[in-house]
Structure 1
Amino acid sequence: MHVTSSFAAFNSSDELKPYQFDRRDVGAKDVQIDILYCGVCHSDIHMAHNDWGFTHYPIVPGHEIIGRVLSVGTDVTQFKAGDLVGVGCMVDSCRTCSPCQNHLEQHCEQGMVMTYGSPDPHGADAITQGGYSTQIVVDQHFVLRVSESLDIKAVAPLLCAGITVYSPLRQWGVKPGDKVGVIGLGGLGHMG
């Protein structure tokens, strides 16, 4: 276990407060990441305020994570210490059901594991805790390489707002010159 410093919501109305918790050990297929930046998504605020009615406190929000690899498990071949990487809103899934086999882990029949607020399949009676923390341990399948040429503090929102706008544009074959509408003036609107 790795003692991790973070900021957590302890109830639906107070401000985030410092919190320490134990991150799981690095498993054979895991990547341990030193978090450099984490974007603030409105979903983080919804979870902290229990707007959806399923928050378990204390909760460490944050799912737009950019950081450097600290260590990797013995079966990890795509990443090494020092690599710049990102983690979005998911950190695990069964990877055996039909949606998972077709790169649609968000539709996992057994339930995707969110970066925070999901039962942690690697920890007894624990929930996943997010990126408003110093480090995170994630299965390599849910880690993305980030180009060193980018402004890394500006990259974090791409992992939620960015992909949320990009995905339907790609899905529907939008090309230069096409007209589209993006609803929202926050992160999605700005990314669009």
Structure 2
Amino acid sequence: MPTVAKGYAAHSADKPLSSFSFERRDSRPDDVSIDILYCGVCHSDLHFARDDWGMTTYPVVPGHEIVGRVTAVGSDVSQHKVGDIVGVGCMVDSCRHCAACNDGLEQYCLEGFTMTYGSPDRHDGTLTQGGYSDAIVVSERFVVRMPEGIDLKSAAPLLCAGITTYSPLKHYGVKPGHKVGVIGMGGLGHMGVKLAKAFGAEVTLFTRSESKVEEAKRQGADHVIISTDEAQMASVEGNFDFMLDTVPVQHDINPYLTALKYDGVHILVGLLEPIDPAVSGGALIFKRRVLAGSLIGGMPETQEVLDFCAKHNITCDVEMIDIRDINTAYERMIKGDVKYRFVIDMATLKEDAA
């Protein structure tokens, strides 16, 4: 039988999120039922709620950085049990049989992965609803174990911001001795700095803001370059092995390409729009540089980043909020007034319903 869940939903692009009761789908033999404890707030939630990408079906409950406690498991579940603390990230399903899925790269599923919210369920066609709610039902394959000792509140954003920056660092082989530039100092950028340092790299943050210099060093950056300072940018030409570009809006990447060594790799993890201004082909060809992109990570790698962060005591910097303040949080996100992720304490949802 479907269960009634409570949460906060967007009902249209121009109205604030508000309380919403809805039915979760029927539980299946491979499902894990989860009471949600914490849910991170991602910029994607905001874009989706306001239909910035033109793909939203309303009402929609956002949230894909979910930490919770298992309350029930299906008959086919073997990896989780009642009482376990688990996480759910950006995906809740995929085709499970294509080459990408068989390689544990469900994020690149050839049939497209099922998003945690805003996607048709592959079995019954109902719209998936996310983590701004009290409970969720997810297939075991897309549920990860929260390592013992990890701080659950700050671990929630690791399921998006953490894996988004970890996956390309691992894939492209960042190791001790490499020089990594991280472009941008937001939710993704500050995690990129922490993770690249843990990989053993020498890390330089690129920012437009003088005010972020000390903060970047506090996060672990070895150096900071003000990207609007032509002299500073000229001083690092041909210097880096990798650029991790976390900026989500159009920006000129040519100066950063020039800062790469030959065979250097510039990795886009934030920009979904066309690159503007255009990329200089010569900057790539004459130094055999690579311009690459990376999405989140597959399920094995998502478990891996949680274990890695627990081992290295890496956390996301978070600000806890009451679910009733979610619309204020969205406005603050637009202004860049958060360091570096909001996380909803779902206990406040019960208070809202009282």
Larger Rg: 2
Could you tell me which residue of structure 2 aligns to residue 69 of structure 1? 70
Q: Is the 8 A contact 1:84 1:148 kept in 2?
A: no
Distance 1:122 1:60 in 2: 20
CA–CA separation in structure 2 for the residues paired with 1:59 and 1:154: 24
Q: What letter matches 2:152 in structure 1?
A: I
Q: Report the TM-score when normalising by structure 2.
A: 0.53
- Aligned counterpart, 1:189: 189
Residue 63 of structure 1 contacts residue 89 of structure 1 at CA under 8 Å; is this kept in 2? yes
* Structure 1 contact 13–49 (Cα < 8 Å) conserved: yes
User: 1:115 maps to which residue?
Assistant: 116
What is the number of equivalent residue pairs in this alignment? 191
Structure 1 stretches of 5 or more lacking a match? none
What residue in structure 1 maps to residue 153 of structure 2?
153
Report the counterpart of residue 57 of structure 1 in structure 2.
58
More helix by share: 2
What's the secondary structure of 1:53's corresponding residue? coil
Report the counterpart of residue 84 of structure 1 in structure 2: 85
Structure 1 runs of 4+ aligned residues shifted over 3 Å read none
2:133 alignment counterpart: 133
Task: Return the TM-score normalized by structure 1.
Answer: 0.96
State the alpha-carbon separation in 2 of the partners of residues 113 and 128 from structure 1.
8
Per-residue CA deviations over 1:146-191 (Å, capped at 9, x if unaligned) read: 0231110000000000011111110111123422122222110111
The higher relative CO (CA closer than 8 Å, separation ≥ 6) is in 1
1:26 equivalent to 2:27? Answer yes
For residues 6 and 158 of structure 2, what CA distance do their matches in structure 1 show?
24
In 2: Cα distance, 1:98 partner to 1:19 partner:
38
| Alignment match, 2:239 | none
Distance 2:22 2:124 in 1: 12
- Deviations along 1:85-143, one digit per CA (max 9) or x if unpaired, are 0000000011011111111211212221000010112434x210000000110000000
| Contact 1:182–1:188 under 8 Å retained in 2 | no
What CA RMSD, in Å, does the superposition of the two structures yield over aligned residues?
1.0
> Match of 2:137, as an amino acid?
V
In structure 1, what is the Cα distance between the partners aligned to 2:148 and 2:103? 29
3-state SS of 1:66 partner: strand
Retained in 2: the 8 A contact 1:29–1:75? yes
| Unaligned stretches of 5+ residues in structure 2 | 193-354
In structure 1, what is the Cα distance between the partners aligned to 2:63 and 2:136? 11
